[in-house]
A and B are shown apart, each in its own frame.
Chain A
Amino acid sequence: MSKEENIRKGFLSGKMAGFTPEPPEEVWTSINGQLNGGRKSRGLIFFIAVAAGLALALTVGIALLSDGPIEDIAERSVISDNADVVGEAQHIEEESMQADPSAGGKSLDRKTEKPAGPERIRRSSLKEKVIVAMEEEISGNQESGTFFAGQMEDLNPAQSEDTVRSMVSEHEVLSRQEEDSLLNLLIPDEPEEILQEEKTRSGKWQVGASLSPQYSYRDVASSNAARNLDANSSESGKLTYAGGIQVNYKPTGRLSIESGLFYNRMGVNIEEYSNFSDGRMFAAMEVVGEGAGNVISISNSMGTVVAEDKSLFVNNYSAKDAVADYHLLTPRALSYNNSAVDGFSQTFEFIEIPLSLKYTIIDRAFKLQLIGGMSTNLLMNNVLSASTSTGTEQVGEFIDLRTFNYSGNAGIGFIYDFAKNFSLSVEPRFRYYLNSINVSDLPPTRPYTFGLQTGVNYTF
């Protein structure tokens, strides 16, 4: 039979069967009250008892004060305490005398009824109490207690079972089964066993899938306040999403490392497109290339947009063919066929590979984690779309964006283990690009997102 089996099917249940302390009488009063339609009222009873006690103490106190000086009260109190201790000691001694002689007053399974009366709580430390209890446990054989204590002091895994077995069997305190179980309890496991148990702990690896609705925008770091204001007044954040698979490895109890592969869609909206025609470099439209009207580009806070097919199309209308004066391009092009553009939308699609650390603050069925790390973001695609009354169409793309971008990530994770190996995670996360998304002379622009990453994970 293995050690574990010995413990499980062993001695403790028999020992505990003899543990029958008396509960306070108020428990029954509360049960009775609850059964008769009342609520749990033990607290109230306790409160009333305390109040009654205080009232009694106050009454006695007043009576004592009226009888004599304060010194007398202190003296009486000390005498009373001493009397109580003496009485207690006598009571213990009497009980010890009354114990079954054949068991030496230390039978493991004896059932001693607690004497009626109020409980007197000793105010010594726990250790003292347990020491006293254990000394008494082997009382009548002081030699054995000393021997046991001496052996226990230096107990370590290297000690053989035989040593401890002889300690307990020599004094015939325990049955063989109890002896085995006590040995199992007292002798620490071999390191290999502990390691094996650690290996069997669940939760080393975790895989999952998640989806994150998110708010996406950018931070412009221009020293030109007018440009910032201009860009910020004409652009706004955009609701996008991200999703993918994540892998977690937990090297220790509370720390885990996360990586994975995510699709991340970001971008901004441009409502005030009239700014494109104001001629300014920032948030402006300009004509570049061999000649006016041949190549049309738009620069805004995110980068420089080149129209598809070297022309800006709106409502299937090639802007470059329409005008020679680029300053008039946008309003005329956008109002063509009475299909006015409501606004532009810039979208960037990234493949993200994160490397984050997660620290578990609360490790229960509900877990709370702190998350922090970095991501490599590979730009896969970008588009500029125009929204009109007839729909949305792609009108161009950026030409000066970085392919590799790096972002910092931080968040909080709320995890609920809803089944044995499955958990649900909701993680508010903030992602901020550490580099400017464009490589042009434009002011550095760093996209960021606030997302609510929601996923399901499998732990193994």
Chain B
Amino acid sequence: MAVKLDILIEGCRKGDQGSQEKLYRQFKNAMYGLCLQYASSEEDAQDILQDGFVKVFQKIEQVKEPKAFPGWIRRVMINTALERYRSQVLLKRVDDEPYLADEQITEDTLDHLHAETLVAIIQELTPKYRMVFNLYAIEGYNHKEIGEMMNISEGTSKSNLSRARSILQEKVKKVYGNVKVR
């Protein structure tokens, strides 16, 4: 039986390890799914998840209302992914990262169908397109907000979204184009 969120948060504020673990287990799947959207690989997503939860436990004092916690933890994970993206931008050309196709989809594809298929395709996007697409199409941020988050102009955000959509369209076309007529 799930422990009430306010009790878990209070326990985490006091540094109680049991509460931390219970809170982690309560949110880990949803947050891992979110991290996978922003990552280029499972390892990348696990790093974001780990860094994100460490921040959650370190900054849980900021949560005033337990009701706000689900939104807050989601925001922490996205910020962690953004930080990781920014550091990759500074260190290397993230656009040219190869995509390890064979490691992206597991048998769970067949369980999660739409969502996992979509995540697999989104993961194929280069980091900057993936980031803009996720923030816009999934999180609902506008281009001005995305520009501020990613330190790019509003126009660049629009352009990146446009290109991300074009790439997604092509990928979907390719996939369906290869389905044999039965």
**With A40-B50, A202-B155 as contacts: A364 and B169 at CB distance below 8 Å:** no
Which B87-139 residues have C-beta < 8 A from chain A?
Answer: 89-90, 93-94, 101-121, 124, 136-139
Which B6-31 residues have C-beta < 8 A from chain A?
Answer: 17, 20-21, 24-25, 28-30
Contact B50 A31, beta carbon cutoff 8 Å: yes
* Cβ–Cβ < 8 Å partners of B158 in chain A: 197, 200-201
Contact A28 B116, beta carbon cutoff 8 Å: no
Query: For the complex, is A62 an interface residue (Cβ under 8 Å from B)?
Result: no
Query: For the complex, is A310 an interface residue (Cβ under 8 Å from B)?
Result: no
Closest residue of chain B to A147 (Cβ to Cβ) is B181
Instruction: Tell me which of A125-133, A280-288, A297-305 binds B.
Output: A125-133
Contact B155 A152, beta carbon cutoff 8 Å: no
What mask results when residues 155 to 182 of chain B are scored 1 for a CB within 8 Å of chain A, else 0?
1101100100110110011111111111
Query: For the complex, is B57 an interface residue (Cβ under 8 Å from A)?
Result: yes
Contact A27 B50, beta carbon cutoff 8 Å: yes
Per a CB cutoff under 8 Å, which of B20, B115, B180 touches A15? B115
* Cβ–Cβ < 8 Å partners of A142 in chain B: 182
Most chain B C-beta atoms within 10 Å of own C-beta, residue among A15, A123, A150: A15
**With A16-B138, A18-B115, A24-B46 as contacts: A127 and B178 at CB distance below 8 Å:** yes
CB distance from A276 to the nearest CB of B (A): 56
Task: Tell me what chain B mostly uses at the interface: helix, strand, loop, or mixed.
Answer: helix
Instruction: Tell me which of A6-14, A232-240, A376-384, A442-450 binds B.
Output: A6-14
Contact A32 B168, beta carbon cutoff 8 Å: no
Count contacts between A and B, CB distance < 8 Å: 228
Contact A28 B176, beta carbon cutoff 8 Å: no
Which A388-419 residues have C-beta < 8 A from chain B?
Answer: 417
Contact B179 A31, beta carbon cutoff 8 Å: no
What mask results when residues 184 to 202 of chain A are scored 1 for a CB within 8 Å of chain B, else 0?
0111110000100110111
Residues of B in contact with A, size category = 35 or more
* Cβ–Cβ < 8 Å partners of B139 in chain A: 13
* Cβ–Cβ < 8 Å partners of A135 in chain B: 179
* Cβ–Cβ < 8 Å partners of B78 in chain A: none
Most chain A C-beta atoms within 10 Å of own C-beta, residue among B17, B179, B181: B179
Cα-based distance from A108 to B159 in the complex (angstroms): 29
Give how many A residues have a beta carbon under 8 Å from the other chain's beta carbons: 80
Closest residue of chain A to B174 (Cβ to Cβ) is A127
Which A19-70 residues have C-beta < 8 A from chain B?
Answer: 19-24, 27-28, 30-32, 34-35, 40, 42
Closest residue of chain A to B181 (Cβ to Cβ) is A146
Cα-based distance from A250 to B14 in the complex (angstroms): 56
Contact B112 A364, beta carbon cutoff 8 Å: no
Contact B33 A21, beta carbon cutoff 8 Å: yes
Cα-based distance from A108 to B115 in the complex (angstroms): 7
Contact A8 B140, beta carbon cutoff 8 Å: yes
Which A103-154 residues have C-beta < 8 A from chain B?
Answer: 106, 108, 112-114, 119-123, 125-127, 129-137, 142, 145-146, 148-150, 152-153
CB distance from B77 to the nearest CB of A (A): 12
Cα-based distance from A27 to B43 in the complex (angstroms): 10
* Cβ–Cβ < 8 Å partners of A21 in chain B: 29, 32-33, 36, 108, 112, 116
Most chain B C-beta atoms within 10 Å of own C-beta, residue among A18, A121, A130, A420: A130
Per a CB cutoff under 8 Å, which of A20, A27, A125, A134 touches B33? A20
Cα-based distance from A21 to B37 in the complex (angstroms): 11
Contact A19 B107, beta carbon cutoff 8 Å: no
Contact A131 B178, beta carbon cutoff 8 Å: yes
**With A92-B107, A142-B182 as contacts: A27 and B175 at CB distance below 8 Å:** no
Contact B90 A152, beta carbon cutoff 8 Å: no
Most chain A C-beta atoms within 10 Å of own C-beta, residue among B46, B124, B136: B46
Cα-based distance from A88 to B166 in the complex (angstroms): 35
CB distance from B44 to the nearest CB of A (A): 12
Interface contacts beyond A106-B113, A129-B120, A148-B176: sample of 6 additional A-B pairs, CB < 8 Å, sorted by A: A8-B140, A30-B50, A42-B46, A130-B105, A130-B121, A364-B93
- Chain A residues within CB distance 8 Å of chain B: 7-10, 12-13, 15-24, 27-28, 30-32, 34-35, 40, 42, 88, 91-92, 95-96, 106, 108, 112-114, 119-123, 125-127, 129-137, 142, 145-146, 148-150, 152-153, 155, 185-189, 194, 197-198, 200-203, 362, 364-366, 417, 420-421
Cβ contacts A to B, 5 pairs, < 8 Å? A16-B37, A18-B115, A21-B36, A32-B17, A202-B153
